[in-house]
Structures are given as C-alpha cells and as structure tokens.
C-alpha cells in the first residue's frame, strides 16, 4: 500500500524505531511520536490513513487517546492498538467505541502489515459506503426542500439537514435582503448534538446581521462558493473557534444568502472534501429559498388584497366595521385549538376575512335596516353565500376550500341553515369554525337593530346551541380558546 500515511504512537523508543523502519520498507509513510500530546498536535494538522498506538502510554493510554479523537473529530482513521495478552479484554471493550483492531505483543512484522492492510481496506470500503449514503441523503433533503413553499420551513429543513450531513459544530443561514444585508434568524441555525444545551448562548454570540460586502471581500476568486480559514475573522463573532467558513447560496449570479459554518476544534481543511457533493444541495436550497421569499411576498400581497376587500364589505354596513377582521382572528384561534396544521390555520384566517363578501350584492337598505327583517328581506340576505361563491368563482382552481368555506358558512349542525340545509359532518370543517366565530362576533357587537349582548349571555347562547346551530366539537374548541378570544377582545 503505497503512500498510505500512518501515525505510530508508542513510548517505547526501541519499538517505535523498529515499527517505523519496518513500515517504511513496506512503502508506508510514517510519523512516529513517543507520547499522546505530540500525537494530538500532529493529528490536528495532518491527515493519516491509520493510527497504530500502544496501550500503555503517557499522559493518555491508547484507549483514552482513541476516545479523545472520536470525541473531537468527525473523521478518524482506523485505530489499531498494540497490547500485551493480559489487557486484551479492555481493548476489545474499546473496539465497541470504534477502535478497529488490536495486535498482541510481541508480533511479527508480517502479521502487523496484514492487520494494517486489512484495516485500511475496510476503512476505504466503509468510507465509500458512507459517501454513497451521504449522496442519497443529499438527494432526499433536496427533495424535502422542494416540497415546501414556506420560507421558514425550507430554511430550517435545509440548515438542520446540512448540519447533520457535514456534522459541522455550528451552521447558520444568513438571508440576503434588497439592501445587501445578511440576516440570521434562530430558526435558521443548527448545532451539533453535543452543543444542544448551549445552543441558545451560541446563537446569541453570533452577529444577527452581516454586510454582504464584508463577506464577499474574502471571495477573491469569483468561481469560489466556499471560503474557509483557520484565522480569526473580524465579523463580530464573540466565541473562539478553530475554523470558520462561508458558503455562498447563489441562483445564477444572484446571492440569495450565505451559510456560516464554524468548527470549534477541527479545521475545515480536514473535511473540505465533504463540501464537494453538497454543491447540489446548496444550489437546490438557493432556488427553493428564493421561491420561498417570492411566495412569502405574494402571500403578503394576497393578504393585503383580501384585507382591502374585507374592508369594502365592512364599509357597506355602518355597524360592522371590524366584523370580517374579528371573525378571521377568532376563527384562527379556534382552528389552532382544534390542532389544525399552521398552513390550514393560515388559510382559514385568509378565507374567513371574505366570508361575507357576497354582501356586496345585498342592498344597503337591507343591511343597515334598524328593525327586524321581513321574510322577503331575509330571503335576499340569504343570497349572500351564493353571491360570494359567484364572486370568488374565478379563484376556484387556487382556493377550492375557501370558496366552500364561504358558501357553507350559514349552514347549521341541525341542518336548519342555508343555502343548502346540509348538517353535521357534511358541513366543511372550516365553515363550521367560521359559523361560530361569525355568530360570536355578531352577538358581541352593536348592530343596526340591537345593542351588543352581555358577554355571559353570549357564552351561554353558544353553549345552548351546541349540537343545534353549532357543531359540538367546535363549541368545545371555542371554550378552550376563550382566554385567547378574550385577550383579542381586550376584556
Ligand atoms: Fe354571513
């Protein structure tokens, strides 16, 4: 095995020399040291294909030295321990921790060479398997990232998995904004398991923003994506570290963000190969994050449009200025109490803003009538879910649930509602939620035909209508949500 580098550690000078000479005649390149302090120092800066060490040494014995390496480094070459017959058991115990083999002293050189060659071969096979596993992992993470449009989800999945794959001590994503300021969020930050306890402190010691120009000054070659150094950089990081790196997330020439990487003990020099297959993941993440940002902006724009529409509806009725906004807030809290996913809660919040959009088609004289409605007028009012569905029909491809939610928001659990008179579980879940939130806000607000009802009366009305007007499950969620609802009403 030519050019394989072996670190030999033994405090017995004679054995050290014999082993060194013997291995060199077999074309191994050997660094021999007689204590574990020197071995630690050399290992920190140089790469080896195998470590051969004695069991009894100072200041650490061979097993503790192996433990030290496993704890400090992600990539440790195979370790073979040389031991006497009487200590075999403890070395076998150490093999459970990752020591690959042992050789009994005294040994023949040919036997030593066999042990070494076998360990190096096995380690090469293991490394190859690991590389394949990592590539599969990278593809699976890329897929996960592409499955979401939510920026926060994309960013946190990317960063958590990236840290898992490269096992860097600390990874933080800084997103670039239109002013070329890079900003980090605690959800875009991951650390190695052993730092989980102090994760919060580590995050606090990182700068929350960086200027892109300050990072780019290190990228003297435009083709580079990854820059690392073992020097201390003046970018406002308070903690001490061994190695620091920046990976640029680029989509074509646009810099979407920067991934900051830190290692506390190990230089990136030793694991730089790990970053090569990761280019696919970084590229996918850059595109997904950019899409996530656009999606977020579109959603904001969409929400503002909905809010404007909701204000248009509320403006028609002089008594219900904040009705749509209130119903949206209460619906979201009830949906949360039902344990619905965040994405669903958000949709219910959006949709419920428009629940009365059909009132645009109802004459103001009826909406603002100070006395009770006659049968004919009530029939007109009952048209508003149907009108709502017609108005929103052009959006049915994108928001089928929202249109149903609005269409059925006056149905009742007992089937006595309108426009279809369906009941129980036939009514879509989101309509059941909006129905209760709508009734609650109507009762707790002044109307053209009556003053608001006392809070206690409203609550007992809702309880009385459990299983009649309202679905029992929604009434239970409403009562669970009562403290939050009161807080929203500021009572
Ligand atoms: Fe309504």
Distance CA(149)–CA(347), nearest Å, equals 14
Domain boundary among 283, 302, 335: 283
In CATH, what number is assigned to the domain containing residue 387?
1.10.3210.10
Distance 348 CA to ligand 1 centre (A): 15
In a domain? residue 180: yes
- pLDDT of 26 reads 92
Distance 343 CA to ligand 1 centre (A): 24
- Indicate the pTM of the whole model: 0.64
* Residues 479 and 333 reside in one and the same domain: yes
In a domain? residue 86: yes
* Residues 156 and 49 reside in one and the same domain: no
Distance CA(338)–CA(482), nearest Å, equals 13
Q: How many domains does the chain have?
A: 3
Q: Which residue ranges of the chain lie beneath pLDDT 50?
A: none
- pLDDT of 470 reads 97
Task: Find out whether the peptide bond into 227 is cis, omega within 30 degrees of 0.
Answer: no
Distance 18 CA to ligand 1 centre (A): 92
* Residues 252 and 325 reside in one and the same domain: no
- pLDDT of 206 reads 92
- Sheet with 29-33, strands from edge to edge, namely 29-33, 5-9, 50-54, 79-83, 101-104
Three-state secondary structure call for residue 453: coil
In a domain? residue 307: no
In a domain? residue 137: no
Q: CB under 8 Å to 266, separation ≥6 — which residues?
A: 44, 72, 73, 74, 242, 243
Distance 382 CA to ligand 1 centre (A): 8
Distance 312 CA to ligand 1 centre (A): 15
Neighbours of ion ligand 1 (CB under 5 A): 356
Distance 325 CA to ligand 1 centre (A): 13
- pLDDT of 183 reads 94
Distance 459 CA to ligand 1 centre (A): 20
* Residues 347 and 453 reside in one and the same domain: yes
For 158-215, give the DSSP string. HHHHHHHHH--SEEEEEEE-TTSEEEEEEEEEEE-GGGGGGHHHHHHHS-SEEEHHHH
* Residues 476 and 336 reside in one and the same domain: yes
In a domain? residue 130: no
Distance 391 CA to ligand 1 centre (A): 14
Three-state secondary structure call for residue 248: strand
Distance 483 CA to ligand 1 centre (A): 25
* Residues 212 and 110 reside in one and the same domain: no
95: containing domain:
5-125
- pLDDT of 1 reads 64
* Residues 265 and 204 reside in one and the same domain: yes
Distance 419 CA to ligand 1 centre (A): 11
In a domain? residue 431: yes
Domain boundary among 125, 160, 178: 125
Three-state secondary structure call for residue 81: strand
């Amino acid at each position: 095995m030519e050019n394989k580098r072996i670190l030999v550690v033994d405090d017995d000078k004679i054995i050290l020399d014999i082993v060194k000479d013997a291995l060199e005649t077999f074309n191994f390149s050997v660094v021999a040291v007689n204590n574990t302090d020197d071995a630690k120092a050399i290992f920190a800066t140089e790469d080896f294909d195998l470590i051969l060490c004695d069991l009894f040494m100072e200041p650490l014995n061979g097993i503790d030295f192996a433990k030290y390496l496993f704890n400090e480094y992600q990539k440790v070459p195979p370790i073979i321990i040389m031991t006497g017959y009487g200590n075999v058991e403890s070395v076998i115990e150490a093999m459970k921790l990752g020591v690959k083999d042992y050789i009994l002293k005294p040994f023949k050189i040919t036997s030593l060479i066999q042990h070494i060659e076998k360990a190096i071969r096995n380690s090469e096979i293991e490394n190859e398997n690991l590389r394949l596993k990592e590539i599969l992992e990278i593809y699976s993470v890329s897929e996960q990232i592409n499955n979401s449009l939510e920026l926060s989800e994309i960013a946190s999945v990317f960063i958590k998995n990236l840290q898992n794959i490269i096992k860097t001590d600390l990874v933080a994503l800084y997103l670039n904004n239109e002013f070329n300021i890079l900003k980090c969020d605690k959800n875009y930050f991951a650390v190695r398991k052993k730092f989980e306890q102090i994760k919060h402190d580590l995050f606090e010691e990182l700068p929350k923003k960086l200027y892109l120009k300050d990072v780019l000054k290190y990228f003297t070659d435009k083709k580079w994506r990854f820059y690392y150094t073992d020097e201390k950089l003046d970018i406002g990081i308070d903690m001490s570290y061994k190695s620091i790196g920046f990976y640029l997330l680029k989509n074509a020439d646009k810099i979407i963000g920067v991934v900051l990487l830190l290692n506390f003990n190990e230089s990136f020099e030793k694991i730089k190969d790990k970053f090569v297959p990761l280019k696919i993941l970084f590229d996918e993440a850059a595109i997904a994050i950019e899409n996530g940002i656009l999606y977020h902006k579109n959603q904001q724009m969409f929400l503002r449009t909905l809010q404007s529409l909701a204000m248009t509806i509320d403006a028609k009725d002089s008594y219900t200025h904040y009705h749509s906004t209130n119903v949206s807030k209460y619906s979201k809290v009830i949906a949360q109490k039902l344990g619905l996913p965040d994405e669903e809660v958000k949709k219910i919040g959006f949709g419920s803003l428009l629940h009365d959009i059909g009132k645009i088609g109802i004459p103001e004289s009826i909406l603002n009538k100070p006395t009770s409605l006659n049968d004919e007028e009530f029939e007109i009012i009952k048209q508003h879910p149907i009108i709502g569905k017609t108005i929103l029909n052009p959006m049915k491809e994108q928001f089928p649930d929202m249109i149903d939610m609005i269409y059925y928001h006056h149905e009742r659990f007992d089937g006595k509602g309108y426009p279809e008179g369906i009941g129980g579980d036939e009514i879509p879940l989101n309509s059941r939620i909006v129905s209760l939130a709508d009734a609650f806000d109507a009762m707790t607000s002044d109307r053209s035909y009556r003053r608001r009802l006392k809070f206690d009366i409203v609550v007992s009305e809702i309880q009385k209508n459990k299983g009649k007007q309202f679905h029992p499950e929604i009434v239970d969620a409403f009562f669970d949500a009562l403290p939050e609802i009161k807080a929203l009403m500021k009572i």
